[in-house]
Amino acid sequence: MEGTERVLGHRYRLISRLGSGATGLVWRAEDLLLRREVAVKEIVLSPGTRQEEAEVLIERTRREARAAARLHHPSVISIYDVLDEDGRPWLVMELVEARTLAEVVTTDGPLTPARTAQVGLALLGALEAAHDRGIVHRDVKPGNVLLCSPERGDGRVVLSDFGIATAEGDPALTSTGLLLGSPAYLAPERARGQVPGPASDLWSLGATMFTAVEGTLPYGGRDALETVTAVVTGAHTPFVNAGPLVRVLAGLLEKDPVLRTSAADTRALLMRVAWAPSRTVAPRPVAPAAPVPADRVPTAPGQPDATATLLRDQVSA
């Protein structure tokens, strides 16, 4: 469909593909009525997807739209419209010209502690806005963080993809064989099957910032199951580049959510680092042969992966 002339809802003309994820594609499109460019998210069902799983994915997409629409924050993508085409919902949203944090770290190397703190403050603001509305994101990770270049925009930091978010008032969705979150950024209590709360998002924020400043995962393994085991029972990768961020990262990666650093304390600690004069050496570069690992372990279409097997019958949205 590259270069397609397809028009959705007699209004949105698909132009080109921007990217793809586990469950869909994102298109650059033109709003023919308002004459502006937008992003359109299309849900793509893999061959062999069971009907019950398809229904869950479709409902999650609608919930993503509802969750994002309830938030008004500069670090959250605005949702403009939802269309039903081909029996699937299509999300029309703000077009953000940016690279993901995962792409930036992989290609340019880790961020400085100060820049990581600035990114962390923006993400924390988005999460606080969500938590105030009873929304838990559940999938904070470098692949869902957009960094706008100062040369192409205003340097904005955006948290995207509320596809597996939970919101107060929504009935639970239970599904077998779905990966709800990325293994390396899954809070320990979620891996144990406990109900996620705001503290779970803060753990994922800490893991995301760890990757940003260190250039590697805080917890890794040969496969998803080993990674989740390390998250629950293991020690994180030693700090090398974090410097003044060590205290806040260690507090966010506390395995007990009750002892985890609060949002207010996290903000105070990040503020001290974000615009303080740098006293640290340049970050250790990431070897080209060892880029930041992928956020999601690929699986055969229609088949659950190791993490899905581990979480089966434990996780409900």
- Report the alpha-carbon distance of residue 69 to residue 81 in Å, rounded: 9
Rounded to whole angstroms, the Cα distance separating 178 from 302 reads: 9
Q: What whole-number distance in Å separates Cα of residue 120 and Cα of residue 126?
A: 10
As a three-state string, the secondary structure of 2-54 is CCCCCEECCCEEEEEEEEECCCEEEEEEEECCCCEEEEEEEECCCCCCCHHHH
Residue 308 has pLDDT above 50, yes or no: no
Instruction: List the structure tokens of 230.
Output: 């390390």
Alpha helices in the chain (DSSP H): 51-69, 101-108, 113-132, 188-191, 198-214, 224-233, 246-252, 263-274, 306-311
Closest CA to 228 of 309, 144, 123, 141: 309
Q: Which residues are catalytic?
A: 139
- Looking at per-residue confidence, does 177 or 71 come out higher? 71
pLDDT band, residue 283 (cuts 50/70/90): low
The per-residue pLDDT of the chain, averaged, comes to 81
Residue 126 pLDDT > 90: yes
Tokens (6 digits) for 99: 């690279």
Per-residue model confidence as pLDDT tens digits over 70-121: 888 999 988 899 998 888 889 899 998 899 999 999 999 999 999 999 999 9
Could you tell me if 101 and 212 are in contact, meaning their C-beta atoms sit under 8 angstroms apart? yes
pLDDT, tens digit, 9 for 90 and up, residues 214-259: 999 999 877 888 888 889 998 999 999 999 999 999 999 999 999 9
